[in-house]
Amino acid sequence: MPGPPARDTRSLLLRGAGLVAIAVVSGLLWFLIRHDSTPDGPVAQPPAQNTGKFKFTLVAGPAKTTDCVEKSYGKTKAFFQDTPCQSLVRALYTTESGGAKALVSVALVGMPDSAKAKALKALTEQDETGNVTDMVKDKTFAGTGTPSVSGADAAYSSKVEGTNTTIVLADFYAKHKDKDLIESIADDALRLSADLHP
């Protein structure tokens, strides 16, 4: 009676080697997928209006120009006639806090050097020296009950970063009064200039 057929040892070894190779390749692919060595691309930064104490909503602008003489008044206009700016970007935002709504003007002025940027800041900090014309004052923006952000009750804040001067004006809608709050809003709005670079 014939015995069992002889096993093909070579065929079994090749099959086993093939399975091992498949297992190694699968494991290597899984490792590469789980441990991607390529660096992450740049992460998009959130707009500046969402990163601080108050949340700001853009309602007008950004409007860009290089003619700061046309978009200024008072002694500030005379300053620009002697010292032309390189760029001006203006925008309007609204924000709300405790039921009070405020309108905020942000102007980013690019000057030829940091000394002139500081001189502009020092000038606009003083009373009765004019300013960069905000988008309400020049009627670029209009709406029902829009406050005059350049009026007597408006809050002012400014900063210089390199050759750029940021000027903020803010006031409440509906004649609301809260000096500390509106000043806090104006100070917080300085960061919005990060969204306005030309």
- In the chain, domain spans: 8-40, 48-195
167 forms bridges with which residues in the sheet? 107, 158
Measured distance CA(35)–CA(29) in Å, rounded: 10
CB 190 within 8 A of CB 168: yes
| pLDDT value at 43 more than 70 | no
* pLDDT (0 to 100) of residue 23: 65
Measured distance CA(186)–CA(180) in Å, rounded: 10
Residue 142 pLDDT class (50, 70, 90 cuts)? confident
* pLDDT (0 to 100) of residue 1: 55
Q: Work out the percent of the chain whose per-residue pLDDT is above 90.
A: 63
pLDDT: which is higher, 39 or 149 = 149
Measured distance CA(49)–CA(189) in Å, rounded: 8
Mean pLDDT score of the chain: 84
40 forms bridges with which residues in the sheet? none
3-class SS of residue 156: strand
Q: Average pLDDT, stretch 141-162?
A: 91
Residue 178 pLDDT class (50, 70, 90 cuts)? very high
Measured distance CA(89)–CA(65) in Å, rounded: 7
**CA quadruple 47, 51, 57, 62: dihedral, nearest 10:** -40
62 forms bridges with which residues in the sheet? none
* pLDDT (0 to 100) of residue 10: 61
| pLDDT value at 174 more than 50 | yes
pTM of model > 0.85: no
| pLDDT value at 144 more than 90 | no
